[in-house]
Amino acid sequence: MSYKRILTIQDISCVGQCSLTVALPILSACGLETAIIPSAVLSTHTAGFSGFTVRDLTDDIPGIEAHWQKENILFDGIYTGYLGSTKQIEYVKHIIKTLVKPGCPSIIDPAMADNGKLYPAFDAQYVEAMKTLAFSADMILPNITEACFLTDMEYRETYDHQYIESLVAKLAQAGSKTIILTGVGYSPDKTGVVVWQNDKLSYYEHRKIEKGCHGTGDVYASAFVGALMSGKSVFDSARIAADYTVRCIEFTQGDAKHWYGVKFEPLLGELIKAIQ
């Protein structure tokens, strides 16, 4: 396997096992040289902690890009997570054009919503900006809520195969080239991932764990990107990432003190083995 360099752009929650504190170790464990652009620095993530500090780093992004252009630093892949503003989205779109090697995939996790609602920091203007990024990317990894916001489709807590197929079709019609739709379950005890690529829809189903954990979307997306950039197919990457995320949740269950994330680090060996 060739030694690849990937760039990931998202925030740093210094404590909380999400965003860059998840992406950097997972991508590195997958054998990738991982560069980062932090969009913001937070003392902790915002779900369950109070009094956290936030420093916005939007204004630093153009300078980083300019320096890398001067040094001719290019990337084999670009992967984004949580972006804090429409201005950051515009900067990312420019980076995807300027800092890439031939064939470099852009992989966008449009981390902005869940359970039928936008995250508190975002509004309709942000959604419209995210559409321009997501639909120009090579791959997107939305959950059902995010896919609904991207397509202006009604969100449903209960749904059937036809609803999911319509949602995927709307994403494709809007410009999505490859779609990895997460959190799709057709029965109460199951969930899974829908993969749409080359006009073909596939589904990987696995056990659903009722009690969720913070940061699992970042764990999933990072494991997916790590597997994909290591040479796995899109479907196999989706499957490997799903299995790894479930294992991380299982491994964390029973520890009431570890409510803020999943213990993904002790299981990195399993992810590496699955990729190899």
Q: What DSSP line would sit under 121-137, residue for residue?
A: T--HHHHHHHHHHHTTS
Q: Phi first, then psi: give them for residue 6, nearest 5 degrees.
A: -120, 145
- Are 166 and 152 a contacting pair, CB within 8 Å? no
How far apart, in whole angstroms, are the C-alpha atoms of residue 192 and residue 194? Answer: 7
How far apart, in whole angstroms, are the C-alpha atoms of residue 130 and residue 68? Answer: 25
Find, among 235, 234, 272, the residue nearest to 107 by Cα: 234
Percentage of the chain surpassing pLDDT 70?
99
Token digits of residue 207: 């056990």
Percentage of the chain surpassing pLDDT 90?
91
SS3 (DSSP) at 54: strand
Q: Phi first, then psi: give them for residue 223, nearest 5 degrees.
A: -65, -40
pLDDT band at 2 (very low <50, low <70, confident <90, very high): confident
- Residue range 180-211, pLDDT digits in tens: 999 999 998 899 999 999 999 999 998 888 77
Compute the Cα dihedral for 11, 266, 192, 140 and give only its sign. Answer: positive
How far apart, in whole angstroms, are the C-alpha atoms of residue 221 and residue 108? Answer: 9
pLDDT at 1 over 90: no
- Are 196 and 178 a contacting pair, CB within 8 Å? yes
Q: What's the mean pLDDT when you consider all of the chain? A: 95
- Are 223 and 187 a contacting pair, CB within 8 Å? no
pLDDT band at 177 (very low <50, low <70, confident <90, very high): very high
- The topology under which CATH files domain 5-275 is UDP-N-acetylmuramoyl-L-alanine:D-glutamate ligase (3.40.1190)
Looking at residue 162, its pLDDT comes to: 97
